[in-house]
Structure 1
């Protein structure tokens, strides 16, 4: 769906999306990584579990929310990917720690 355009001399690193290793590059946002990773969505809505993808890519719409390094409801379009980052796509109702 989306293709990474990178400098051939630029090396990538691994992040983990839903437990699977995925290549990211310096400067990628987490939302960009999710758009390149099947099933190409950031989250599923809480009630009907409808897939949602990043929409505005500037922090306004909240369709890119995911869990990043155990932090829930992170706007992935505003977060730069880092080596070893763990990203989980939410599915269903948010589980709040008590």
Structure 2
């Protein structure tokens, strides 16, 4: 089942966009060049983009306009990239974030 919007009332036809390949967590996927990484992942039925650093709970797209930072992924070894704002390009290597190896220290406790 195709989950991609192919005709948009404002943007027009999106079918003419160039298809590109990229990897997410080692899995090769297809997307449309210059669409947001978040849109490409959603079109590939991927909802979990990272895991909370301390709790390990799944995180996905929340605001989709770059304010909340919930959609952070690692792109070509650069951490903290907002997938909702980053255009997809051929050959990108994208990885989800996971829990940190040790618990994050509570800033307040460290400064009391």
For this structure pair, what is the TM-score category when the shorter chain's length is used for normalisation?
0.7 to 0.9
**Corresponding position: 1:75 with 2:82:** yes
Deviations 1:38-93 (A, max 9, x none): 54211100111110111111110010001001000111111000000000001111
Would the alpha carbon gap of residues 36 and 49 (structure 1) be closer, same or farther in structure 2, given more than 3 Å must change?
farther
**Corresponding position: 1:36 with 2:43:** yes
Q: Which has the higher contact order (CA 8 A, sep 6+)?
A: 1
Gaps of 5+ in 1: none
Gaps of 5+ in 2: 7-13, 102-112
Would the alpha carbon gap of residues 61 and 15 (structure 1) be closer, same or farther in structure 2, given more than 3 Å must change?
same
Q: How does 1:1-98 map to 2 (within 5 A)?
A: 3-6=3-6, 7-93=14-100
- Give the paired residue count: 94
Query: For the aligned residues, what is the CA RMSD?
Result: 2.1
Would the alpha carbon gap of residues 81 and 65 (structure 1) be closer, same or farther in structure 2, given more than 3 Å must change?
same
Give the whole-Å Cα distance in 1 for the aligned partners of 2:99 and 2:85.
Answer: 23
List structure 1 segments (4+ residues) > 6 angstroms apart after TM superposition. Answer: none
Give the whole-Å Cα distance in 2 for the aligned partners of 1:8 and 1:55.
Answer: 26
> TM (normalized to structure 2)?
0.74
Secondary structure of the 1:84 match is coil
Give the whole-Å Cα distance in 1 for the aligned partners of 2:51 and 2:43.
Answer: 17
